[in-house]
Amino acid sequence: MAEQEKEKIAHEISEDDIIECIELNKWFGDFHVLKDINMNVKEREVVVVIGPSGSGKSTLIRCMNRLEEHQEGQIIIDGIELSNDIGNISAIRREIGMVFQQFNLFPHLTVLQNVTLAQRYVRRRSRAEAEEKALGLLERVGIPDQAGKYPGQLSGGQQQRVAIARALAMDPKIMLFDEPTSALDPEMIKEVLDVMKELARSGMTMVVVTHEMGFAREVADRVIFMDSGRVVEIGTPEHFFEAPSHERTKLFLSQIL
Amino acid sequence: MAQKSSQEMYVAPVEEPRSRRPPISEVGLIKWLRDNLFGSWVDVILTVVTLVGAGFILYGMLDWILFQAQWEVVFLNQATLNTGNQFPKSEIWRIELVAFLVVFLSLLSVGVWGRIARGFAITLAIIGAIMVIVPWATTPVEEPVIYMYTEAGYLNRQVNFVADEGQEITFTIDPLTDASDYQISNISGYIENDNQQNNTSFDAFNNRTASVVTFLDVEPSEYDLNMAIEIWDADGALIQSSDYTQGTTEITVFTWEAPADGWFTYAIINNAEASGENGAAFVTIDNLEVFRSTSQGRELRLDKYGPQPELDCSGCATSLNRSDLRFQGKRTLAQWFSLQLAPYLLESRGFFFIAAIVGIIAYFIGQVAVKNSFNIVNDDLLDKTARFMLFVSGIAFVGYILIQISSWFIQQGDFEALQFFTLVAFVISLGIYAIIQFMKDDPKASSRAVTILWMLSIPIILSVVTGFESSAVPVSESLPAIPTGDLGGLFLTLLLSAVAIIASFPIGMALALGRQSDLPVVSLLSTLLIEVFRGVPLITLLFMGRLILPFFGFGLGDVDLVIRIIVVLTLFISAYLAEVIRGGLQVVPKGQIEAAYALGLNGFSTTTLIILPQALRAVIPAIMGQAVSLFKDTSLVYIVSLFEILGTMNQLLGDSQTGYIAFPREGYLYVGIVFFVFSYVMADISRRIERTGSGAIRRDTI
């Protein structure tokens, strides 16, 4: 019976949960950033992480592709546990795309080179194949005519869309968005969100840290609310925005809405 | 519709106002002048003071350069200055060949990379035009005369000189009767000056203070010189003599025609019976050649006129190339063109024009390649050939290295021929590969091919210049070995700095990354190396390279001195470069590394593809600063008895036989100009690199 149950759990994890965080703890020096985080993301699910500044949202998703190291607990991505094993880390990073608040495009490369670089050196695609893929993706994010320019010549919104295309070019199973619109002018936020919505509709598994409540309400399958390093509440957008249970959540929502 | 200046509500018309040009006083030269030179009263004063100051300095410099300096030391010694004193003169064609190769590759690069072509072409065209027009338009002017100061009862003067058959030489004894006769403003020519470095005796003439001018107090009517000129042949036999001056102040002229080519001696003598007691005179000598270039000139002279006669007196000049004959006074502009500029241009004209033609051809080849006009896009056979050639060159290179290593261990036996053949195989196969790449339908392939050709030029240049010892090498007859210690002049300067700068680049990068490494051993070792080489003066390092390394054993003493010095220079600049590059590494934002990691790039790819390109671009000016600084530091190698251009100039000036000892100002100014020109070109290239690629947009966006 117990065997069966275990098997069932394992089965469930491998079937549904593409990201699984179990009792995750992280410290920056003595500072306890993430406290006993338990969460999961299912395949093709869009999870939005919200919370006040300093609540550990960014740290959490940065742990998911090992940009930050966790000290306790487990992170299991697509059946592989993140550990110090370099092979595991690079295998996981190949499957996870990430988009940063500050875009982090490579300023010394053109847009096209930005999108083809990792394809060629990580996925080992030929130049022609990589460029074809890159041009397709630039088309998809709506900036096909900027391929020859350098990032410095683009607007913030265009840069962020290039960053999305760059991450997508690796054919990731999961996309992580770390406050993708926070550094953008209000006029440009929409063009980035549109791309993200389109991506969500296409069935991409996404974990999004954002302050865009409209986006969360419209696109998210589930919302995770974090405060001071712990998960306060997890729920569907309807539950979350209309009938939050926890006092902290209510306070937070009352301040931003 | 007039609008009120204060309005509570306003809606702009649908049509936007049209863009207009700015007011005329806000653009162009007027604006620039006002902004930059005459912005405020302080600016006006600064501008005026600076311009006046600069004008004075410039006027003084030009006045000296054009009318007083004696540039023979530079233009008669071009071969020596470019290749060094010890380099065999018969082999100078090799250096010229190397120069043409470098010109070819440079202009090929310019053709492929474009950008600086126009400015370059204009500069070349201007130089070319000057080279053609000036010698053609210049009317020949005779050399200024020679003045020798003599006094009654003073030691007799004997001076050797060369003359061609039929050459007429005029001697004039011109008594110095009043102070103005001495003054530089009145005399112009090569004036005997026993104090070689300064103008003291002339100042004394001018000022009438020193003891040499006491004779001036002699009444002209009491002059009693009793002086005459004698001409001797090479055996010391008297050929002809002038009459003695007869106690007068009159000018005595004596003209002599050389009966044959050869050495002669002229002597200024007093009448033994009625020895003169009063007065002083300049003996002026017209139509005598004063200068001949150094070793080369001496050899030519020896060939044509035979050995110089021995003089049997102490304190007399051994030849007319006397160290104390120095040009004083002022030239006319015609004299400057005819005697200074035109001979220099004639001397270097042939070389320049061949170089220009080679360069133009190279430039157009580069242009054709980059415009894909060779039209061999997808030729399968060529592609296969190229790959095969790359393979062959790889084997040849490995073979060469193996032979080199085994020659170190086996010590005996003749490996040179084997080395030569592998090297030739390497150069030819890689050369063919590069040429095929060059003609491909891809500007980037052409650009890479040019880089390969540059790399290939290094073994070619070294082989051509140093030659081959072993007779088993087929070309050893036309390229006999030249010991590297005989290299010198500008060539050595460029060789040392080019090799050291190129080699220091990867080492500097490795040290910079090593110092940042997480592995304590690597980081400690890198730090130690950097600090040691930065903490010791270059001169000390050079001495170590020459004197101390041999004591370490491992056959280090057998390693060629030039190579040891290159290694020392390379390590020295690597240490500085490492710190510069480390500074660049710290400028790269952490987000860049995170983005690279998030894309799955590993540490090596992240470093080479993301971090280093950005770090290096950020520190291009500093890197080029190090390169320029090393280029100038190469002049320190004179302390380990290598003679680069400054050392060679020192040798020229110091050689008492050459007669250039009195012209240090001209010599050092020339060396300074050469250093400046090369440094400026390097700085200019660095500025251009900064503005390529993503650097091109940096100015617009920030």
**pLDDT per residue as tens digits for the range A96-154:** 999 999 999 999 899 999 999 999 999 999 989 999 999 999 999 989 898 989 898 89
Pairing of strands A31-42, A46-50: unpaired
Residue of B nearest to A66 (CA): B598
Best interface-test mutation with B: which of A64, A67, A90, A104 has the largest number of B CBs within 10 A? Answer: A104
User: What distance in Å separates residue A101's CA from the closest CA in chain B?
Assistant: 10
Nearest CA in chain A to B698: A152
Nearest to B636 by CA among B644, B626, B628: B644
Stretch B586-595: mean pLDDT: 92
- Among A67, A108, A163, the residue with its CB nearest the CB of B597 is A67
The SS3 call for residue B563 is helix
Out of A96, A118, A163, the one facing B601 most closely (by C-beta) is A118
Least confident of A131-140, A203-212, B96-105, B368-377: B368-377
ipTM score for this prediction: 0.90
Nearest to B600 among A102, A107, A122 (CB): A122
What is the pLDDT, as a whole number, of residue A129? 93
Hey, are the CB atoms on A167 and B609 less than 8 Å from each other? no
Inter-chain residue contact A122 with B610, CB threshold 8 Å: no
Any chain A CB within 8 A of the CB of B698? yes
Residue B149, strand partner residues: B282
**Are residues B609 and A90, on separate chains, in Cβ contact within 8 Å?**
no
Given this model, what pLDDT does residue B276 score? 61
What was the pLDDT predicted at B6?
62
Measure in Å the smallest separation between the Cα of A68 and chain B Cα atoms.
10
Q: CA nearest B595 in A: which residue?
A: A104
Cβ-defined contact of B597 to A166 (cutoff 8 Å): no
Q: Out of B600, B700, B701, name the one closest to residue A93 (CB).
A: B600
Whether A107 sits inside 8 A of B614 (CB atoms) is yes
Whole-number Å distance between alpha carbons of B450 and B424: 19
Given this model, what pLDDT does residue B338 score?
Answer: 85
Q: What are the two backbone dihedrals, phi and then psi, of residue B263, each rounded to the nearest 5 degrees?
A: -85, 140
Integer Cα distance of B583 and B337 in angstroms = 51
Judging contacts by C-beta atoms under 8 Å, the chain B residues touching residue A122 are 599-601, 605
| Least confident window among A66-70, B129-133, B372-376, B665-669 | B372-376
Q: CA of A232 to nearest chain B CA: how many angstroms apart?
A: 28
pLDDT band with cut points at 50, 70 and 90 for residue B241: confident
CB B298, CB B292: distance < 8 Å? yes
Give the count of beta carbons closer than 10 Å to the beta carbon of residue B434. 25
pLDDT of residue B234 exceeding 90, the answer is no
Minimal C-alpha gap between B631 and chain A (Å): 29
Measured N-to-C along each axis, helices B489-516 and B561-587 cross at an angle, to the nearest 10 degrees, of 40
Determine the average pLDDT of the residues in B337-353.
Answer: 83
pLDDT of residue B279: 74
Distance CA A18, CA A43 (A): 5
For A44-69, how does the pLDDT look when each residue is reduced to its tens digit (9 = 90+)? Answer: 999 999 999 889 999 999 999 889 98
Q: Select from B54, B52, B73, B50 the least CA-distant residue to B62.
A: B54
Selecting from B596, B605, B694 the residue whose C-beta is nearest the C-beta of A107 gives: B694
Shortest CA gap A167–chain B (Å): 7
Cα distance between residue B436 and residue B387, in whole Å: 10
Q: How far is CA A46 from the centre of its chain?
A: 9
The pLDDT of residue B247 is above 80: no
What residue of A is the nearest CA neighbor of B613? A108
Distance CA A156, CA A252 (A): 29
Q: How many CB atoms lie within 10 A of CB A165?
A: 26
**A-proximal residues of B, 567-606, CB under 8 Å:** 589, 591-592, 594-602, 605
> Which chain A residue is nearest to residue B596, measuring alpha carbons?
A118
Whether residue A163 is predicted with pLDDT greater than 90 in this model: the reply is yes
CB B557 within 8 A of CB B550: yes
Task: Tell me the chain A residues in contact with residue B591 when contact means C-beta distances shorter than 8 Å.
Answer: 100, 102, 104
Chain B residue numbers touching A107 (CB-CB < 8 A):
614, 694
- What pLDDT is attached to residue B213? 44
Spatial distance between the Cα atoms of A170 and A190, rounded to a whole number of angstroms: 24
Contact list, A65 vs chain B (CB under 8 Å): 597-598
The more confident residue out of B696 and B698 is: B696
Render pLDDT for B360-392 as a digit per residue (tens, 0 to 9): 898 888 888 877 666 655 567 777 888 888 888
Task: State the average pLDDT over residues B443-460.
Answer: 85
A104-113, B112-121, B126-135, B303-312: which has the minimum mean pLDDT?
B112-121
- Express each pLDDT in B453-489 by its tens digit: 988 888 889 888 888 877 777 777 788 888 888 888 9
Residues of chain B numbered 601-660 and touching chain A (CB < 8 Å):
601-602, 605, 609-610, 613-614, 617
- Buried/exposed code over A47-59 (b: 16+ C-beta within 10 A; e: otherwise): bbbbbbeebbbbb
pLDDT at B316 over 60: no
Q: Mean pLDDT throughout B118-145?
A: 82
In chain B, residues with a C-beta closer than 8 Å to the C-beta of A118 are: 596, 599-601
Arithmetic mean of pLDDT, B510-523: 92
The answer on pLDDT for B577 being more than 90 is yes
- CA–CA dist B203, B322 (Å, integer): 21
Please report, rounded to a whole number, the percentage of residues in chain A having pLDDT higher than 90: 58
Whether residues B599 and A150 touch (CB distance < 8 A) is answered with no
Higher pLDDT, B441 or B612: B612
Region B338-350 average pLDDT: 82
Q: Which of B609, B617, B697 sits opposite A152 (nearest CB)?
A: B697
> Do the Cβ atoms of B357 and B365 come closer than 8 Å?
no
Name which of B442, B444, B592, B599 to mutate to probe chain A: the one with the most chain A Cβ atoms within 10 A of its Cβ.
Answer: B599
Which contiguous run of DSSP H or E holds residue B239?
Answer: strand B238-241
Closest Cβ–Cβ partner in A67, A105, A153 for B598: A67
Contacts of A152 in chain B (CB under 8 A): 694, 697-698, 701
End-to-end Cα spacing for chain A: 49
Which tops the pLDDT comparison, B188 or A156?
A156
Task: Decide if B516 touches A, using CB distance below 8 A.
Answer: no
Distance (Å) from the alpha carbon of B445 to chain A's nearest alpha carbon: 14
Tell me the pLDDT of chain B averaged across its residues: 81
Higher pLDDT, A166 or B190: A166
Residue A69 CB neighbours (<10 A): 12
The alpha-carbon gap from B613 to the nearest alpha carbon of chain A, in Å, equals: 7
- Non-local (6+) Cβ contacts of B380 within 8 A are none
Predicted model pTM: 0.82
Beta-bridge partners for B238 = B232
Mean pLDDT to the nearest integer, B41-60: 92
Given a cut of 80, whether residue B698 has pLDDT beyond it is no
Instruction: Read off the pLDDT of residues B263-313 as tens digits, 9 standing for 90 and up.
Output: 888 888 877 676 666 777 888 888 887 766 555 666 777 788 888 777 666
Could you report the per-residue pLDDT of B155-167, keeping only the tens digit for each? 566 787 888 888 8
pLDDT, one tens digit per residue, over A219-245 is 999 999 999 999 999 999 999 888 888
CB contact under 8 A, B598 and A167: yes
pLDDT over 50 at B321, yes or no: no
Average pLDDT over residues B346-371: 85
Q: In chain B, whose CA is at the least distance from the CA of A91?
A: B600
Query: B606: which residues sit within 8 A by CB, 6+ positions away?
Result: B593, B596, B597
Taking alpha carbons only, the member of B159, B598, B613, B636 closest to residue A122 is B598
pLDDT tens readout for residues B207-227: 544 444 444 456 667 777 788
CA of A93, closest CA in chain B: separation in Å?
5
